[in-house]
Structure 1
């Protein structure tokens, strides 16, 4: 990974690979770039993958403030600037998909298309009571027991390798308690991107049929609100679609991007 200073005042750690159409992979709250460890090797080499640790996590800067959705969107656009990219695809998982929507609304000229993986349409009031309780009890610094408690509030519906789960838990320990709390506050208090404007970029919406965190109506709201969108619902899959179905996500995302890059419908 290399560290890239941005015009927004923070430096992000970024992993890059491949050549071709640029795709920025945006991880969820409580995660780092490591959440894409199983996806990246499955995506074709003719995509230029840009996988940052967002501000506050991993090897990126951890400032005291700046954890609103608007702040994160500013970082994404500034990252495109530093990489010399006029535009690119955004693939966001869970709240990373919320961020992708925000960029598409605020800066439509910078977004070729979206891949929204288990992404919400509206996070107001959507934090499960059990998860809120666990966060309130977080230690400073955060402990492995804290991470286990959060993970228990996000059940899996398909097998996930133990090694991958261990890597995610270790990566989550890089996130300070203050960032965990500021990040979730920024998400649940934000006006939803779809309420702020229209998304004109084509979008692939991938959803788990057994999502325990968000109602399926949100997937349909996204698909209905975004022209040129396609909704795919994965059976026997929970909220953590990326963790549970990286192969299917890679196949569907690559096909959708290739169809639009080639100028033909998906």
Structure 2
């Protein structure tokens, strides 16, 4: 089954949702300034025997782009509104990058809705986490080119074998307002005090050579969440979930099967 849905959030914002497969639900939350196509390279791996639900954040894809401030808690509320509209009582939640920040709030604020939590290449927020280096911050601030982003996402070896196009470099249809608000939402994220409220079994995944979200954040998250384990993929960068999908996909499905 493959369907596209339109869900209305609490404030009237229309959210586009892609639903595939049948079985227990797996909610997929993409990185900053990306829509559901972020998952296209690995969704088939994750969707065996499951219903995968991938949301276009407000400001991306087919969703509305309201002229307002965004936050990771707002995105989490939108995700729960999607589950409500689809009649999904509970789901496994897999968030990567900013999607991992959003997933933290879904699990902390709605523990009864989350059966399993997977946090990939993400952080608890810079206030208590390990921030990216000044060099990377300068590169992102002054050169948001596809080349810079691609280098942060994938190793040269992967890029040589997979010349693209890449689905993880941002939604080109976004307005400047939405792109800026996504950046603010991600930068302002701080779930440190809420991580202890997460009760779902949690798997934390990270690439060892991630310069976008340094790997030290994986241990910080696991230390704050009661039932959490960590797996690090040696040599991988930010998009470990795609470059290492032959390992990461089975790790996720094995975890969800517990």
Please report the TM-score for the alignment, with normalisation by the length of structure 2. 0.87
Are residues 1:28 and 2:31 paired?
yes
Gaps of 5+ in 2: none
Give the one of 6, 11, 23 matched to 1:8. Answer: 11
Displacement of 1:35 in angstroms is 1.1
Choose 216-225 or 239-248, whichever is displaced more.
239-248
Give the one of 15, 20, 29 matched to 1:17. Answer: 20
Would the aligned equivalents of 1:23 and 1:89 in 2 still touch at CA under 8 Å? yes
**Compared CA separation, residues 174 and 163, structure 1 to 2 (3 A):** same
Q: How far apart, CA to CA, are the structure 1 residues paired with 2:55 and 2:108? A: 21
Q: Which residue of 2 aligns with 1:47?
A: 50
Would the aligned equivalents of 2:16 and 2:62 in 1 still touch at CA under 8 Å? yes
Give the one of 56, 60, 63 matched to 1:60. Answer: 63
Q: How far apart, CA to CA, are the structure 1 residues paired with 2:180 and 2:133? A: 14
Deviations 1:55-109 (A, max 9, x none): 1101111111141111111101111110111111110011101110011111111
Q: Which residue of 2 aligns with 1:37?
A: 40
**Compared CA separation, residues 213 and 106, structure 1 to 2 (3 A):** same
Gaps of 5+ in 1: 138-144, 260-266
Would the aligned equivalents of 1:18 and 1:47 in 2 still touch at CA under 8 Å? yes
Q: Number of paired residues?
A: 249
**Compared CA separation, residues 173 and 129, structure 1 to 2 (3 A):** farther
Give the one of 172, 191, 206 matched to 1:193. Answer: 191
**Compared CA separation, residues 129 and 183, structure 1 to 2 (3 A):** farther
Q: Which residue of 2 aligns with 1:163?
A: 164
Choose 226-235 or 39-48, whichever is displaced more.
39-48
Please report the TM-score for the alignment, with normalisation by the length of structure 1. 0.84
